[in-house]
C-alpha cells in the first residue's frame, strides 16, 4: 500500500525498516510493521498528498510513540479487552478478504469503503475478467489444499524408509512455502502469456527501481511562493499529530494481542510502543511515511509458519533486494494471485465460536464485541475506539455499582464485594440506609471490609456522612475486617463515632446482641481510636 496520490515506490520505502527494527525490539513473533491501507488514508488526509509532509509526520509520530514507551504508558493499552480484539480480527478478516475480491475478479475502480465496495462489486460482477477469476480461484484452491496437507501430514519416524522421510520433508516444505510457490507459479503463467503476445491477467505493473537515500526528514518545504517553515508544517498537520500515532499504536497492539492470544504467548505493550516509535523515526530517514502493524502481512507470516521475529529480517532483506534488483520482475505478478494469498491468510482469523462462547460465559461482553465488529465495517479505527470506550463504560459501571451482600439478623452485616472507589460510595450509602431504616425495628450495621484494599477521600467523606445519617436515627455503624492501609486512612480522618472490629468473627458474635440505641452501645468496648 502507498499513500493515495503519492508515488508508488514510497510504499516499498515504508516496508523494510519496520521489519529490521521489530526484530530487535518487538515481542510478537508474527507481527510485521509496514504501510497499511488505513494508515495510508490517514496520512493522505493530514499530509496533503505531499511526500515531504508524510515523511515528517512519520518522524513526529515516532517521537510521540517512543516517548509513550519510555514513560511506560503501555498499561493504557491493557484496556483493549479480548472481546474488542476478537471483534476487530473477525471484522478485519471479512473486510480484507472482500477488499481482495475485486482483484480476484479483475475489477477496477472499486471504492475502498466496505459497504460501497460490496455494492459496486455486486453491481459490476458482469465485468469479471475470466483470466483473473480462473487464476485467482485456482490459487485459492491450491493454497487450501496445501494447508490441509500440512495439517494432516504425519510426523515421519526415524525407522521409516529414507524415501518416505524425504517425501514427507518435501511435502512439508511445499506446504510451508505455499504462498511463495503460488505467487511464483502465477508469475510464470503470466510471463508465458506475455511471451505469446496475449495477456488475459491483470498484472502488478512496473515499479521504479532503486534504494532510497539515508537522510533526515526535511523540516521545511520549498513552495512556489517561498519556503514553508517547520512550525507552519506542524500547524498544517494539526490534529493529525495525535490521530496518526494513536491509530498506529492501537492497530499494532490490537494485532499483536490477537495473534499472541491465538498462539499462546504474551506481549509487552511498552516494548511494542518502543519498537513502533523507533521504526517510524528511523523509517523517516529512508523516506518512509508512518507505519503500523499490518493485519494482512502478519496473517501471511503466521500462516507461513514464522516462529520468531527473525522472520522480519528475511522480509526486510527481500524488500531491499527487490528495490535494488528485482522490481522489473514484479511486473509479471498477477494481482489475482496476491489477492488469493491474502484471502487465504486472513480467513482463518474469523472466529464465529467467540459469539457462542460469550453467550454462555458472560453475555454483557457481547456488547463491546458487537460494537467493535459492526463499526469496523465502517472504519477499523472507529471500531477499535468505540469498542474500547464501551468496555471502559462497562468497567466503570462495575466499579460504580459493586456487588453488595446484606445478611439479615439483629444487626445488618453489609459486605461490599470489591474495593470502594468514589463512584461507588453513593450506591453503598443508599443500600445501607434503605435496608437499615426499612427494617422493623431499624437496625444498626456492621460493614465487613474484608474485600476492600484501598479507599479515597471521597469514600471517607461518604462514610462520615453515613455515620451521621445512622446516628440521627439512633443507629450505629461499626467496621470489621479492615486491612491496614484502609484502617490507617480511616483513623487519620478522625471520623466521629468510628468503631472497628479486628475480625469478622467478633462481628458475627455481636449479631445476636440487643438492638443499639443512643444510650447503649455494645461496640463501645471495641472502639479503636488514633
CB atoms within 10 A of CB 349: 25
Residue 152 parent element (H or E):
helix 130-152
CB atoms within 10 A of CB 507: 22
- CB 34, CB 18: distance < 8 Å: yes
Please report, for residues 225, 416, 480, 507, the alpha-carbon distance to residue 528 in angstroms, rounded to integers and kept in the order given: 79, 22, 11, 14
pLDDT at 375: 92
Residue 326 parent element (H or E):
none
pLDDT at 140: 94
Residue 412 parent element (H or E):
strand 412-416
Of 422, 419, 494, 496, nearest to 458 (Cα)?
Answer: 422
pTM: 0.73
| Cell digits of residue 383 | 471500531
Dist CA 43 CA 290 (whole Å):
7
The reply to whether CATH 3.30.750.24 applies to domain 404-508 is: yes
Residues 351-370 have pLDDT tens digits of 889 999 999 999 999 999 99
- CB 172, CB 150: distance < 8 Å: yes
Of 217, 154, 37, 489, nearest to 479 (Cα)?
Answer: 489
| Cell digits of residue 54 | 508524510
pLDDT at 59: 96
Residues 5-25 have pLDDT tens digits of 456 678 888 889 999 999 999
**Any idea where the domains of the chain sit in the sequence?**
8-80+100-349, 404-508
Dist CA 15 CA 319 (whole Å):
7
3-state secondary structure of 176: helix
pLDDT at 508: 56
Evaluate the CA torsion angle 495, 501, 503, 505 in order and state its sign: negative
- CB-hemisphere CA count at 13 Å for 10? 24
pLDDT at 278: 95
- Residues ≥6 apart with Cβ < 8 Å to 256: 27, 28, 31, 267, 272, 293
- CB 290, CB 43: distance < 8 Å: yes
Which residue ranges in the chain fall short of pLDDT 70?
Answer: 1-8, 37, 41, 155-159, 503-530
The phi and psi torsions of 475 (rounded to 5 degrees) equal -110, 165
CB atoms within 10 A of CB 271: 16
Strand partners, 501: 480
Q: Sort strands 477-480 and 500-501 into parallel, antiparallel or unpaired.
A: parallel
Burial bucket for residue 352 (CB in 10 Å: 0-12, 13-18, 19+): exposed
Give the burial string for 354-393 (b: 16+ CB within 10 Å, else e).
Answer: beeebeeeeeebbbbbbbbbebbbebbbebbbbbbebbee
- Residues ≥6 apart with Cβ < 8 Å to 53: 46, 47, 221, 233, 236, 237
| Cell digits of residue 214 | 539515508
pLDDT at 208: 76
Q: Write out 281-319 in H/E/C secondary structure.
A: HHHHCCCCCCCEECHHHHHHHHHCCCCCCCHHHHHHHHH
pLDDT at 157: 61
- CB 217, CB 58: distance < 8 Å: yes
3-state secondary structure of 63: helix
Dist CA 267 CA 293 (whole Å):
14
| Residue carrying the nine cell digits 458475627 | 508
pLDDT at 510: 55
Dist CA 78 CA 254 (whole Å):
10
Dist CA 204 CA 1 (whole Å):
12
Amino acid at each position: 500500500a502507498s499513500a493515495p496520490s503519492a508515488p508508488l515506490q514510497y510504499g516499498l520505502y515504508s516496508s523494510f525498516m519496520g521489519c529490521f527494527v521489530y526484530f530487535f525490539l518487538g515481542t510478537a513473533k508474527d507481527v510485521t510493521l509496514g504501510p497499511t491501507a488505513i494508515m495510508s488514508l490517514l496520512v493522505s488526509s493530514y499530509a496533503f498528498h505531499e511526500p515531504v509532509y508524510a515523511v515528517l509526520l512519520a518522524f513526529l509520530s515516532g517521537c510521540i510513540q517512543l516517548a509513550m514507551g519510555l514513560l511506560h504508558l503501555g498499561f493504557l493499552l491493557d484496556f483493549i479487552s479480548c472481546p474488542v480484539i476478537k471483534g476487530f480480527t473477525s471484522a478485519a478478516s471479512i473486510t480484507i478478504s472482500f477488499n481482495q475480491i475485486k482483484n480476484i475478479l479483475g475489477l477496477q475502480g472499486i471504492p475502498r469503503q466496505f459497504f460501497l465496495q460490496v455494492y459496486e462489486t455486486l453491481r459490476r460482477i458482469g465485468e469479471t475478467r475470466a483470466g483473473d477469476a480462473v487464476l485467482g480461484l485456482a490459487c485459492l484452491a491450491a493454497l487450501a489444499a496445501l494447508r490441509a496437507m500440512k495439517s494432516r501430514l504425519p510426523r515421519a519416524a526415524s525407522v521409516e524408509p529414507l524415501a518416505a522421510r524425504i517425501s514427507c520433508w518435501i511435502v512439508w516444505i511445499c506446504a510451508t512455502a505455499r504462498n511463495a510457490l503460488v505467487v511464483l507459479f502465477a508469475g510464470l503463467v503470466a510471463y508465458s502469456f506475455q511471451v505469446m503476445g496475449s495477456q488475459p491477467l491483470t498484472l502488478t505493473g512496473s515499479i521504479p527501481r532503486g534504494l532510497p537515500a539515508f537522510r533526515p526528514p526535511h523540516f521545511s518545504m520549498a513552495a512556489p511562493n517561498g519556503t514553508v517553515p517547520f512550525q507552519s508544517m506542524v500547524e498544517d498537520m494539526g490534529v493529525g499529530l495525535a490521530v496518526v500515532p494513536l491509530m498506529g499504536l492501537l492497530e499494532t497492539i490490537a494485532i499483536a494481542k490477537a495473534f499472541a492470544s491465538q498462539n499462546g504467548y504474551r506481549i509487552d505493550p511498552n516494548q511494542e510502543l518502543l519498537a513502533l516509535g523507533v521504526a517510524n523515526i528511523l523509517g523517516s530517514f529512508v523516506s518512509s511515511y508512518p507505519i503500523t502493524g499490518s493485519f494482512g502481512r502478519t496473517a501471511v507470516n503466521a500462516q507461513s509458519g514464522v516462529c520468531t521475529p527473525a522472520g522480519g529480517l528475511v522480509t526486510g532483506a527481500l524488500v531491499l533486494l527487490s528495490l535494488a534488483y528485482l522490481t522489473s520482475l514484479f511486473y509479471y505478478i498477477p494481482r489475482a494471485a496476491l489477492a488469493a494469498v491474502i484471502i487465504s491468510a486472513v480467513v482463518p482469523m474469523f472466529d464465529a465460536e467467540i459469539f457462542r462462547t460469550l453467550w454462555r460465559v458472560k453475555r454483557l461482553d457481547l456488547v463491546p464485541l458487537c460494537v467493535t465488529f459492526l463499526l469496523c465495517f465502517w472504519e477499523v479505527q472507529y471500531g477499535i475506539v468505540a469498542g474500547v470506550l464501551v468496555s471502559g463504560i462497562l468497567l466503570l459501571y462495575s466499579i460504580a455499582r459493586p456487588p453488595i451482600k446484606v445478611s439479615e439478623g439483629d444487626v445488618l452485616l453489609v459486605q461490599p464485594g470489591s474495593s470502594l472507589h468514589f463512584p461507588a460510595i453513593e450506591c453503598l450509602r443508599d443500600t445501607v440506609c434503605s435496608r437499615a431504616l426499612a427494617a422493623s425495628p431499624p437496625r444498626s450495621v456492621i460493614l465487613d471490609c474484608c474485600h476492600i484494599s484501598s479507599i479515597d477521600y471521597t469514600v471517607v467523606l461518604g462514610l462520615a456522612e453515613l455515620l451521621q445519617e445512622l446516628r440521627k436515627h439512633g443507629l450505629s455503624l461499626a467496621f470489621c475486617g479492615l486491612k491496614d492501609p484502609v484502617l490507617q486512612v480511616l483513623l487519620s480522618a478522625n471520623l466521629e463515632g468510628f468503631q472497628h472490629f479486628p475480625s469478622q468473627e467478633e462481628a458475627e458474635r455481636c449479631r445476636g446482641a440487643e438492638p443499639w440505641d443512643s444510650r447503649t452501645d455494645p461496640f463501645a468496648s471495641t472502639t479503636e481510636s488514633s
